[in-house]
Structure 1
């Protein structure tokens, strides 16, 4: 059987060549043969290497002055090994030994041994002197520097280098029935959300199969929390269109709060996931498997929740592959703009568009709202964020930005942007 560290290096290589983390694992035949313990090890090694990529590259640059053209695989093996030595505190001898044994297949054992031995000798120096800030890629960092201070960027860099927690959202009808902190071995952090340490098999946790809860990050839950606040007097008679609804977290919240929900999703595969989750949770919604931009609606809605496709720059901690592959967001920005314009014609007078993206980039967040308001004079931006200030800050445009260093004492949150737009009656 292929060593799990070699598999980790293969998976890491595939990610650098454009595959997502999940797809790289799925397509690796050797990974599928591993037991759960070794699969968890592969995930740990790859994700740590991605989260610390900038620091690891800096370390390797002290010893590798030219690109490894022939045995490019060795570079990924070295990255995995440096992650073990510097950031996971694995035993140095076994880490070096394993890497050297693997490198023999590529006739690079002396090269590998020399570099890793030198890194071990300078371990304390590298850990102390190489800052986490260089893990944030320039295409994200340059945008954040426009409105965040250096200390905030460093806090974000330190936060995204850590393994994220898992947030579990408990159904309203079940929340007071049990001691969920004890059952799930976690802490209540907001509303009905219990935060737990990362688990490999979520399905094995208590009451998962009974449909009493679903996994949903705090940041992702905030837009629906705001909708509940906005329509607190009469939620049962209010219609909400959840755009880009799968895998379903926001729709589940909306249904749980008593709204009349329609969930639209363009992807058939994601619709299948949504249906599966709804069945487990014993919840119902009107599902529309169409392109939001092309479908003709005969009705108008009290609220349209747009979870727009985006760069995902707020998910650097959960999906660190974006730290190593630059995204062209121009097509995404155009689509986001079209979605806002479409929603403007579908919301009732006095109704709301809640626009959100799991991104911290201004082009996908605040700039979108400013541009929209400049062209849609019947809309205005409303500050409904007083109850969630612990998760981020209100921007000049009366919109809200969550950054990963927010809520840091309790484990941080995903980066997220939210705008609340009311359609003023003519």
Structure 2
């Protein structure tokens, strides 16, 4: 990679960090604009990797910067962004120090350029390093420790230190033809950074990528046997494929046409079928009640922080409260579409009780015709926590095997 190419990747990484920390955007949503100057896929991937690693280690990077400056740099100062990018490469990504700083300096001019060079040089001479276990942002660590205890918060920090493994989900009739760790039936875990496209069975549609915790909601609906099912907020399609492969007649509903395009591609690759509807579920309704509903509601996504570390920095308490209101509205509306005797599963990939436990407590208080169907013996591995009959996966579950995403899942039936 020549100097010009190297600087272009760092410029894209800086734009990504600014998009997350200044504008509150998800990394994936900001990538196309931030990497607009990059033609090569590996340059785009490198820019994304720099930004993601910086977000994983942001409190520790900022502590180093603050310890090496006489006057604290503003949070949004370009010099701070440049130092974050240079330091995370040199201290966490194996980039030689001279390359890390040389490719960043062109991004700052004048006084900031001298400042960035001086601070980076001082830290290099001190042989500064980052802790093995990253520090969670203070408000996140405090919130999770308050809600779940110090052990869970510590486990979350440990999970930030390493890329998550690759989880594959198999249709019931497709036996895996590769070696890996199976945490439950139809699941296989491979090492992190495993290339997807070259794996056995990819082209044949034998499996799809889906975190092991994300596969639980659809599992709790059981075998389909031709029953009708709604997969609400369905994109990108992992749960739709689970339901279709289990024998449900599935209608997949999502408001995002672009995300549903990916769902259709996955369905075509796996040879599975579902009716696909582009709609806002607060305005849409099915033609008739159905036997099963899976509502994987839009949420803060704090439970998927391992793959999306930006959620640690962009999600505030006010947003959590607003999302919980939307989830309650979606659950109330979806409940009307369930046949008596049918099954409804509500799930969120959130570690916030406001979006999980509190939403269903209010729902049950308002709907005497619904009750929780507890997870039964043998439905899930014994180590999966099922408080009050619901599922709550937290950092620490399967920690030594690579962890799992944070989810809350509740199953109801209607009388």
TM-score of the two chains, using structure 1 as the length reference: 0.86
Match of 1:282 in 2: 271
Task: Tell which deviates more after alignment, 207-216 or 153-162.
Answer: 207-216
Q: Output the CA distance in 2 between the equivalents of 1:71 and 1:382.
A: 49
**CA positional deviation for 1:164:** 1.5
Cα offset, 1:162, TM superposition: 1.8
Alpha-carbon distance in 2 for matches of 1:204, 1:257: 26
Unaligned runs of 5+ in 2: none
Task: State the 1:120 CA deviation.
Answer: 2.7
Deviations 1:310-357 (A, max 9, x none): 011101111111122234133321111111111222212222210000
1:393 is paired with a residue whose SS is coil
Once the two structures are superposed, the pairs formed by residues 37-48 of structure 1 within 5 Å of their partners are 38-48=43-53
- Give yes or no for contact 1:313–1:360 (8 Å, CA) kept in 2: yes
Matched, 1:180 2:178: yes
Corresponding residue to 1:190 among 181, 184, 193: 184
Deviations 1:88-137 (A, max 9, x none): 344334434444x4366445343223212332344467537xx63x3245
Residue 102 of structure 2 corresponds to residue 118 of structure 1: no
Q: Which runs of 5+ in 1 are unaligned?
A: none
Q: Measure, in 1, the Cα distance between the counterparts of 2:141 and 2:237.
A: 31
Partner of 1:135: helix, strand, or coil? Answer: coil
1:33 is displaced (CA, Å) by: 2.3
Instruction: State whether residues 86 and 123 of structure 1, in contact with CA within 8 Å, keep that contact through their aligned partners in structure 2.
Output: no
Match of 2:168 in 1: 168
Shift of 1:269: 1.9
What are the residue-to-residue correspondences of 1:337-416 with 2, within 5 Å?
A: 337-384=328-375, 386=377, 387-389=379-381, 392-395=384-387, 397-416=388-407
Q: How far apart, in 2, do the equivalents of 1:403 and 1:5 lie?
A: 34
Alignment correspondent of 1:10: 15
Match of 2:308 among 293, 313, 319: 319
For 1:69-108, list aligned pairs within 5 A.
72-99=77-104, 101-102=105-106, 105-108=109-112
Q: Aligned to 1:259, which of 228, 248, 268?
A: 248
Q: Secondary structure at the match of 2:183?
A: strand
Q: Could you tell me how far apart the structure 2 residues matched to 1:379 and 1:50 are?
A: 41
SS in 2 for 1:356: strand
Deviations 1:160-216 (A, max 9, x none): 23212221222333315xx222xxxx4333322222234486344443232222111
Provide the residue aligned with 2:155 in structure 1.
Answer: 155
SS at match of 1:324: helix
Q: What SS does the corresponding residue of 2:182 show, helix, strand or coil? A: strand
TM-score (norm 2): 0.88
Matching of residue 296 in structure 1 with residue 290 in structure 2: no
Q: CA deviation at 1:419?
A: 0.7
Equivalenced residue count is 406
